A and B are shown apart, each in its own frame.
Chain A
């Protein structure tokens, strides 16, 4: 039986970025305008760009794409008066396993992203902006392209926006199915028409980004937060979340809970409270392991129910807040098999640039197949850790690092499950026919 969450838990809900999703036609510009839409833009265009950068610094907004870098600081890195074109690029290439917060935002409230883009571009003095949206997100892209067209017709995009003298062109650019393009420098390469492979940093995009020009790359949730901060002010924004991780955050709950879904809450809520909001675990299921922020973040267990889910709290527990994609697994799910499926993903999505990530993931998939088909050996466990040691820190970007997360954390917490396969106590999950080349 699901019970009504307690009042103090309900009060952790902070519907801000998600609020318009309840208005079925908020994707239309006239409806959006009736719901405070484009009010922030008028306010922003009346002040100096530097005042907006300061406002975002004051808000303490940290990037919503997973890394949590201070947004205002990032904007402030853009050199001014350098005579070069500046670019704003929105990372809408949502694909981290478990993550599903940006797609509904772009589908149900696309203008909030468009408005955020215009304000952010004005702040960093960019006259061109791109939204790089995951190719597969076709319905979100339909709504977004429609919103951009509507914004042009209303004079919010194009030349001399609302008589301010500020010009901005915005292009929605669809990707073509490559998780790696969510890494900001791979995204830029892809946007330039190349294979999406990460670049060496430094130089960072702030000075050498798109077309080797100063570029800000921000996540959808980061940019969509901007109009609310402009409207409500930095102090109001900081009234949510914690001192070090201010603001609301969209937690995406999936798996063995009664009501999976999107829960926008004050940062620092715990999994125990989130499960309460989600109506409890499904009948017959007990929490066993979970990801705090997607498959690239080390697994946590039932011992971590009271960890505050903000950047600092999760780091202290040995994992990463990431994209707050909370995937919840029970005692009926197998951590070895779960890790194997994630590794299939990293193996498929490794761009191939760095040998440790390209080859390491290939071999780890094969090792997992052997273990899961009941033919694993004790040495396989050493091979896995040794491979992780060779991937971790030895590749250009975070994809390789992320791939090791579930391997090392599942071995740390659930070594017995591995041994159960190796010692024949657990029935094989895979048949031997999938084993080609593993021996």
Chain B
């Protein structure tokens, strides 16, 4: 690595030419067209916005953010490797070591943990013989414990390559990973049929799922619809909805709501460097003392 390459002097959109078949050159040959497509989504002088999707793109080829992948991103965007590495290491979804085809993420945040998520994680960890962010020797499964996956009404949940398996327990979770290791592709509870981590990374880079049926996959589960079903069963609807109500410019606002909303978002005092005041937390602290 020469000094000029370190500084990314080849400029945006022009991967460095180099002799031989280094991994960077291979990546450039494979990914440059897609990378340019990503960069074109953002304003012309704001190519750095493409960095997150470019890192997902690198994972779609490498299975993790490899050193070559970091160099490729740097060259595409006219950044240096340290700038790219600093971003890549910040985000949980960018993996810094080779990762299995199937990333199994078990939610162990408070609600899922309360409902049994920790036992699911422990059972999988013992069954697979790996810990957090470790991969089975066959390279197939990487296990991790995850923070809240935004499906608390289905807890405890786990995801495989980020598609959900709801209300899991140790037995169903072990059966699931066994099926994955045996080459099966079990169907998630509500998402699309599973694709590999590399395949999902390409979608995370902003490219559509190439399987047309995948978009249609998955119906809402009962918890999602529970409130609606109650309303439907009991004939509850919001009254007075007329879609042809004219838009008038003569309104005088909603002064009570506006004043309340402004009052609830007072800027912080000088005591705080920035942001909003945190009155309820201050009150809780005072009362806890």
Chain A residues within an 8 Å CB radius of B108: 341
Distance A9 CA – B88 CA, assembled complex (angstroms): 49
Contact present for B152 and A252 (CB under 8 Å): yes
A171 vs B209: C-alpha distance in the bound complex, in angstroms? 16
Contact A178 B92 (CB under 8 A): yes
A308 at the A/B interface (Cβ < 8 Å)? Answer: no
How many Å lie between the Cα of A94 and that of B113 in the bound state? 19
| B206 interfacial by beta-carbon distance below 8 Å | yes
Q: How many residues of A contact B (CB 8 A)?
A: 155
Interface residues of chain B, those whose CB is within 8 Å of chain A, are: 41-43, 46, 48-53, 55-56, 77, 86-87, 90-94, 105, 108-111, 113-115, 146-155, 159, 161-164, 190-192, 200, 203-206, 208-209, 214-220, 222-232, 234, 236-243, 245-249, 251-254, 256-258, 260-262, 264-265, 267-268, 271-276, 278-285, 287-289
Distance in angstroms between the alpha carbons of A234 and B248 in the assembled complex: 10
Shortest CB distance A214–B (Å):
14
How many angstroms between the C-alpha atoms of A279 and B95 in the bound complex?
42
For B287, the chain A residues whose CB sits under 8 A away are 318, 408, 412
Evaluate contact between B206 and A62: CB separation under 8 angstroms: no
Q: Is the CB of A174 within 8 A of B284?
A: no
10 residue pairs from A and B, CB less than 8 Å apart: A21-B224, A67-B264, A174-B205, A178-B90, A192-B48, A193-B77, A198-B274, A198-B275, A385-B285, A388-B285
| Complex-state Cα separation, A297 to B155, whole angstroms | 20
Contact A236/B245 with A192-B48, A327-B152 known, Cβ cut-off 8 Å: yes
Query: CA–CA, A96 to B224, complex, Å?
Result: 18
Determine the residue in chain A with the shortest Cβ distance to B146.
A136
Whether A145 sits at the interface, judged by CB under 8 Å, is yes
CB distance from B80 to the nearest CB of A (A): 13
**What are the 7 A-B residue pairs with the smallest beta carbon separation, nearest first?**
A60-B254, A60-B257, A177-B92, A261-B226, A58-B251, A261-B223, A233-B245
Q: Which residue of chain B lies nearest to A25 when distances are taken between CB atoms in the complex?
A: B216
A residues in contact with B192, CB < 8 Å? 139, 142
Asked if A191 is at the interface of the complex by the 8 Å CB criterion, the answer is yes
Q: List B contacts of A27 (CB < 8 A).
A: 215
Q: Is the interface of A mostly helix, strand, loop or mixed?
A: mixed
Contact with B along A133-157 (1 / 0, CB 8 A): 0111111011101100100000000
Contact of A263 among B226, B248, B253 (CB under 8 A): B226
Please judge, given known A-B contacts A47-B247, A104-B220, whether A244 and B236 are in contact too, CB under 8 Å. Answer: no
Is A435 engaged at the interface, CB distance under 8 Å to the other chain? no
Minimum CB distance partner of A230 in chain B: B247
Contact status B288-A408, CB under 8 Å: yes
* Interface pair B257/A62, CB less than 8 Å apart: yes
Cβ-defined contact, A409 with B284, below 8 A? yes
> CB of A307 within 8 A of chain B?
no
Of all chain A residues, which has the CB nearest B151?
A100
Interface centre among A103, A199, A248 (most CB of B within 10 A): A103
Q: Report whether A262 and B284 are in contact in the complex, using a CB–CB cutoff of 8 Å.
A: no
Quick check: is A305 within 8 A (CB to CB) of the other chain?
A: no
Complex interface: chain A residues within 8 A of B151 (CB):
100, 103
User: Is A341 within 8 A of B109, CB to CB?
Assistant: yes
Distance from A370 Cβ to chain B, minimum over Cβ atoms (Å) = 19
Residue of B51, B93, B146, B247 with highest tally of chain A CB at under 10 A: B247
Given contacts A15-B236, A24-B219, A70-B261, contact A345 B147 (CB under 8 A): yes
B contact residues around A345 at 8 Å (CB): 109-110, 147-148
Judge whether A137 and B150 touch: CB under 8 Å. Answer: yes
Q: Mark A99-129, 1 if CB is under 8 A from B, else 0.
A: 1101110011000000000000000000010
Q: Would B261 and A73 count as touching, CB distance under 8 A?
A: yes
Q: Which of A69-119 contact B (CB under 8 A)?
A: 69-70, 72-73, 85, 94-100, 102-104, 107-108
